[in-house]
Structure formats: structure tokens, C-alpha cells
Structure 1
Amino acid sequence: MAVPKKKTSKSKRDQRKATWKRKAALQAQRALSLGKSVLTGRSTGFVYPQPEEEE
């Protein structure tokens, strides 16, 4: 016979949400750092096509 699940506590819910937000913030920080690195032209961990200059 089906039994209802126990209610999740507010602290457990908030803890899960905080973990999710922390992961998202870390990924956003990494993306911003990579973007800045690409713009300076000194990035070594990211390969992207360079426009060829004609002489």
C-alpha cells in the first residue's frame, strides 16, 4: 500500500538550493575568467579560430 513521503525540512531544502547556487556562481566565474582571458589574447587552455591576416 502507498505511503506518503515525509516532508523535507526547510534547512535541507535551503541547503540544496545553496549548493545549486554555489555551483552556478562558480561556473559563471569560470566563464567570465575564460572570456577575459580570450579577450586579452593570452589564453592557453582554449582553442578558437583566429582570422588570417593577408599581406
Structure 2
Amino acid sequence: MAVPKKKTSKSKRDKRRANWRHKAAVEAQKALSLGKSILTGRSTFVYPSAEDEEAEDE
């Protein structure tokens, strides 16, 4: 017969959630920074433009 697993402590749960939220916040900051640099024209990031995509389709 199946036996229930032991309960995870609140501190362990909170650590995992904090880690997940921290990773999400770091990625959000990177995305915002990249967006700002693209808008100001100071970006070294290469991204395809609409014209490039049309040329590849032909």
C-alpha cells in the first residue's frame, strides 16, 4: 500500500521559491536592459529585421 511522503518544511519551500523568483528577476532585468540598448542604438545584439526575413523566404 502507498505511504504518504514526508512533508517538506516551510523553510525549504521558501528557499526554493526565493531562488525561482530571483532567477526570474535577473532574466527580467536582462531583457529590460537589452530592450533599452536596442532602442538607444547602442546594442551589439544582432537581431533579424523584417527585411531580412522577407529575403530569406524568397
| Structure 1 consecutive aligned stretches of length 4 or more whose deviation exceeds 6 Å | none
Give the structure with the larger helix fraction.
Answer: 2
Q: How much identity, in percent, do the aligned residues show?
A: 69
Alignment correspondent of 1:30: 30
Partner of 1:39: 39
Q: Which structure 1 segments of 5+ residues have no match?
A: none
Q: Point out where structure 2 has 5 or more consecutive residues left out of the alignment.
A: 52-58
Partner of 1:4: 4
Tell me the number of residue pairs that the alignment of Structure 1 and Structure 2 aligns. 51
TM-score (norm 2): 0.77
- 1:1-23 Cα shifts (integer Å, max 9, x gaps): 21110000000000000011001
One-letter amino acid of the counterpart of residue 6, structure 1 = K
How far the C-alpha of 1:50 sits from its partner, in A, is 7.2
CA RMSD of superposed structures (Å) = 1.6
TM-score (norm 1): 0.81
Task: Find the aligned partners of 2:3 and 2:26 in 1 and give their Cα distance.
Answer: 39
